[in-house]
C-alpha cells in the first residue's frame, strides 16, 4: 500500500491532466443536443480505465440509452470482496455564463481549487477512482479487492435507464459492496459518509379558466386570471417558518433519534457562511421550521419547491387575460414517506377550493425516486471510516443528504443487501450545477489517499465479508 500512496503523490499532475481531458468535453445530457460529446466522454473514460489497469473495458447501452463506460479487474480471487464503483460522465449545461471567471470547459487552478463544469460533479469521481486503481496496478500490478466500475451517461437527466441497465447486466455487475463518489463533505477537510438520501416526486399543476386569451381591456376584471389563480393555489404551500401545511404530509415521517439529534448538533455550521455561499440577499430570512437545525431540515424533513412556472413569456407579453397557467412543484421525501401517498396529498390539497372556481388539475410529473437510509455500521463502514480517518487525518462523520440518488437503494437490494458507501467529493463551495463549479484540490488528494486505504482495508476483511 505504501508504494501505491507514493505513486499517487508522484503522479498527481498526471491525474489532474486526465481530469482536464474529461472536463474539456461538454458532455451535457440535459438538452439532447450533445449526444456526440457524451459518446466521446464515454470513450475517453474507457481509454483512461485501460490506462489505469482495468480490463474487459467497453461501452455499454440498454435500449436507446446514452453510453455507459464499464471496466473491471477480478484477479484478487474469490476470497476477496468485489467492490462496485459508480460515477457519471454527463454534466449540467453552463448557465449564467457571465458569472464564470474562467472557461468552464478548461480545468483551471485558482485559490487551491480546480474550476470547470463537471470538475466536481462528477468527473472528479472518475479520476479519483482511476487514480487509486492505477496507484496499485502501476506499482504492485494487483489490487487488494476485485473491482467493477460503471460510469453512467444519464445521471443528470434522472438516470432514466439505469435500473434497466442494472437488471440487464445483473450478473456482470454483481458485487459485494458499493462505493459512490457523488455526495459532499459538509466542510473542507472533514470527510463524510452519507447514510441517508431524500427522495423526490414532482407534480404538474395546471390551471385553466377559459378556452382563449381575451383582451384585458374587454374582459380585465371580469374573466378569472389563470396566472393569478395559479399563484393563489401555489401560495397555499407557503409555510412561513412552520410545518408545510399539506394535510398528512408528516404523518409517516420518521422521527430523529436522540442519538441522531445529538450527532447533528455537533456538526460544524455557520449561518453567515451559508448565507454567503448560496447568495442569500440581506433581509431574507431562512425558511426552516422554528426549532429545527439546517441539517435536520435538509436531511430529514420533507420540502416543497416551485421549480417552474409558466403563463406567457415576458418577451411576448400582450395585454390579455390568460386562460392557462402551469407550474411544477417538487417535493423532497424522507424516511418513511411513501411517494404515491405524497403525490395524492398534494393533489387533494392543491385541487381543493379553487379560486373563482377555476379548473385545477394536479398530476404526477416524471417518475421520481424513493428515499434511502442505511445503518452506517458494520465491516464495510468501519473499513471506510478507518480509511478516511487516515487519508484526511481527521475523524470522519456520518451525515445525511438533502438530494436524491435514486439507484442506491435498488442496487443495494439487487446485490442482496450490499453495503453502500457514499463518500464525499464535493464541499459547500463546489457550486455543482452552478457557475464556477470547482473541486478542492487538497481534499481531492486526500480522497484518493483514502480510496487506496479503503481497498486495502476491504481486502483484509476476514473471509471477504463486508457485512
Q: How many helices (H) and strands (E) does the chain have?
A: 15, 18
| Percent residues over pLDDT 70 in the chain | 100
337 & 395 share domain: no
d(CA 329, CA 234): 9
Q: What is the pTM of this model?
A: 0.91
The answer on pLDDT for 367 being more than 90 is: no
233 CB-side CA count, 13 A: 35
Instruction: Specify the pairing of strand 359-364 against strand 320-321.
Output: unpaired
The answer on pLDDT for 209 being more than 90 is: yes
pLDDT score for 277: 83
97 & 21 share domain: yes
149 & 88 share domain: yes
d(CA 112, CA 121): 17
pLDDT score for 183: 95
Q: pLDDT tens across 146-184, in order?
A: 999 999 999 999 898 999 999 999 999 999 999 999 999
Domain boundary among the residues 364, 379, 412 is at: 364
The answer on pLDDT for 279 being more than 90 is: no
d(CA 14, CA 344): 52
Over residues 288-292, mean pLDDT: 94
355 & 389 share domain: no
Residue 139 DSSP label: T
123 & 241 share domain: no
CB 57 within 8 A of CB 71: yes
CATH number of the domain enclosing 246? 3.30.70.360
SS (H, E, C) 263-298: HHHHCCCCHHHHHHHHCCCCCCCCCCCCCCCHHHHH
d(CA 411, CA 416): 9
Q: What is the DSSP string of 368-428?
A: -B--EE----SHHHHHHHHHHHHHHTS--EEEEESS--TTHHHHHHHTTS--EEEEEEE-T
The answer on pLDDT for 278 being more than 90 is: no
3-state secondary structure of 327: strand
| Percent residues over pLDDT 90 in the chain | 96
**H/E element, 57:** strand 55-60
213 & 258 share domain: yes
Over residues 402-423, mean pLDDT: 95
Extract the C-alpha cell encoding 252. Answer: 409517516
In a domain, 275, yes or no: no
The answer on pLDDT for 201 being more than 90 is: yes
Over residues 17-39, mean pLDDT: 97
249 & 220 share domain: yes
Confidence of residue 214 (pLDDT cuts 50, 70, 90): very high
The answer on pLDDT for 66 being more than 90 is: yes
Q: pLDDT tens across 378-393, in order?
A: 999 999 999 999 999 9
In a domain, 451, yes or no: yes
Helix ranges (H only) for 11-101 are 12-23, 35-52
Over residues 404-408, mean pLDDT: 92
Q: Which domain holds residue 261?
A: 199-270+293-364
Domain boundary among the residues 330, 349, 364 is at: 364
Q: pLDDT tens across 85-137, in order?
A: 999 999 999 989 999 999 999 999 999 999 999 999 999 999 999 999 999 99
How does the average pLDDT of the chain come out, rounded?
96
320 & 177 share domain: no
d(CA 154, CA 407): 12
In a domain, 190, yes or no: yes
pLDDT score for 446: 98
Over residues 443-465, mean pLDDT: 97
The answer on pLDDT for 430 being more than 90 is: yes
In a domain, 282, yes or no: no
Domain boundary among the residues 364, 389, 423 is at: 364
Q: For the chain, how many structural domains are there in total?
A: 2
Which residues are within 8 A (CB) of 351 and not within 5 positions of it... i.e. 6 or more apart? 360, 361, 362
Amino acid at each position: 500500500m505504501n508504494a501505491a500512496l507514493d505513486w499517487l503523490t508522484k503522479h498527481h499532475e498526471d491525474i489532474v491532466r486526465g481530469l482536464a481531458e474529461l472536463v474539456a468535453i461538454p458532455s451535457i445530457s440535459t438538452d439532447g443536443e450533445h449526444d456526440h460529446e457524451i459518446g466521446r466522454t464515454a470513450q475517453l473514460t474507457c481509454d483512461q480505465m485501460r490506462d489505469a489497469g482495468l480490463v474487459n473495458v467497453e461501452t455499454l447501452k440498454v435500449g436507446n440509452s446514452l453510453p455507459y463506460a464499464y471496466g473491471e479487474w477480478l484477479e484478487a480471487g474469490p476470497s476477496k470482496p468485489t467492490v462496485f464503483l459508480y460515477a457519471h460522465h454527463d454534466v449540467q449545461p453552463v448557465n449564467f455564463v457571465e458569472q464564470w471567471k474562467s472557461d468552464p470547459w478548461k480545468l483551471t487552478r485558482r485559490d487551491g481549487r480546480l474550476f470547470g463544469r463537471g470538475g466536481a460533479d462528477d468527473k472528479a469521481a472518475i479520476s479519483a477512482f482511476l487514480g487509486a486503481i492505477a496507484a496499485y496496478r502501476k506499482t504492485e500490478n494487483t489490487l487488494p479487492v476485485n473491482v467493477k466500475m460503471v460510469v453512467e451517461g444519464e445521471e443528470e437527466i434522472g438516470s432514466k435507464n439505469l435500473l434497466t441497465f442494472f437488471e440487464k447486466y445483473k450478473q456482470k455487475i454483481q458485487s459485494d459492496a458499493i462505493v459512490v463518489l457523488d455526495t459532499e463533505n459538509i466542510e473542507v477537510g472533514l470527510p463524510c459518509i452519507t447514510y441517508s438520501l431524500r427522495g423526490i416526486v414532482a407534480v404538474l399543476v395546471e390551471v385553466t379558466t377559459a378556452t382563449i386569451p381575451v383582451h384585458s381591456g374587454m374582459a380585465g376584471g371580469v374573466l378569472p386570471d389563470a396566472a393569478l389563480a395559479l399563484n393563489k393555489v401555489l401560495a397555499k404551500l407557503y409555510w412561513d417558518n412552520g410545518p408545510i401545511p399539506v394535510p398528512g404530509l408528516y404523518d409517516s415521517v420518521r422521527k430523529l433519534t436522540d442519538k441522531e439529534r445529538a450527532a447533528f448538533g455537533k456538526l460544524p455550521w455557520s449561518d453567515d457562511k451559508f448565507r454567503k455561499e448560496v447568495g442569500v440577499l440581506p433581509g431574507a430570512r431562512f425558511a426552516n421550521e422554528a426549532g429545527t437545525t439546517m441539517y435536520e431540515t435538509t436531511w430529514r424533513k420533507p420540502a416543497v419547491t416551485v421549480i417552474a412556472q409558466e403563463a406567457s413569456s415576458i418577451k411576448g407579453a400582450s395585454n390579455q387575460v390568460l386562460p392557462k397557467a402551469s407550474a411544477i412543484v417538487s417535493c423532497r421525501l424522507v424516511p418513511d414517506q411513501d411517494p404515491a401517498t405524497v403525490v395524492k396529498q398534494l393533489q387533494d390539497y392543491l385541487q381543493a377550493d379553487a379560486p373563482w372556481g377555476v379548473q385545477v388539475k394536479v398530476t404526477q410529473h416524471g417518475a421520481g425516486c424513493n428515499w434511502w437510509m442505511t445503518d452506517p455500521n458494520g465491516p464495510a463502514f468501519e473499513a471506510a471510516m478507518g480509511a478516511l480517518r487516515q487519508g484526511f487525518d481527521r475523524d470522519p462523520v456520518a451525515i445525511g443528504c438533502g438530494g436524491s440518488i435514486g439507484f442506491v437503494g435498488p442496487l443495494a437490494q439487487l446485490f442482496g443487501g450490499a453495503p453502500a458507501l457514499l463518500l464525499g467529493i464535493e464541499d459547500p463551495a463546489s457550486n455543482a450545477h452552478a457557475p464556477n463549479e470547482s473541486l478542492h484540490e487538497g481534499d481531492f488528494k486526500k480522497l484518493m489517499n483514502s480510496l487506496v486505504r479503503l481497498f486495502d482495508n476491504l481486502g483484509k476483511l476476514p473471509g471477504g465479508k463486508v457485512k
